[in-house]
Amino acid sequence: MKPQAIYVEFSPHYLGPGKLTKAWHVVGRGSRTILGEIKWHAHWRRYVFYPALTHQYLFDARCLDAIAWFLDEQTELQRKEAAKRRLEGRAA
């Protein structure tokens, strides 16, 4: 079940032309401060959360649950898209 993201939201941002993966800023709902970034980690083959290093942020269990759920959801979508691209490449 999707946890409620009460304190954070996920804002997509552009990585540049030719990128196969996506990225999002994790933004505090009240402050509109960028708390970190979610992007693909090639060696781990999954999306990971990079906390912003400019401040000391606090994350409670609800925030971390929402971030973890989002990471898992986006990783699964990326894997499906990559499998589809592989199949389309074989058909060509």
Digit-coded pLDDT (tens) for 14-25: 888 888 899 999
pLDDT above 90 for 75: yes
Residue 48: CA count within 13 A, CB half-sphere: 10
Specify the pLDDT at position 88. Answer: 86
Give me the sheet containing 34-41, strands edge to edge. 8-13, 23-28, 34-41, 46-51
Specify the pLDDT at position 92. Answer: 60
> Residue ranges of the alpha helices (H) in the chain?
61-91
H or E element at residue 10:
strand 8-13
H or E element at residue 25:
strand 23-28
Backbone angles phi, psi at 15, to 5 degrees: -100, -20
pLDDT above 80 for 54: no
pTM for the whole thing?
Answer: 0.78
d(CA 25, CA 35): 7
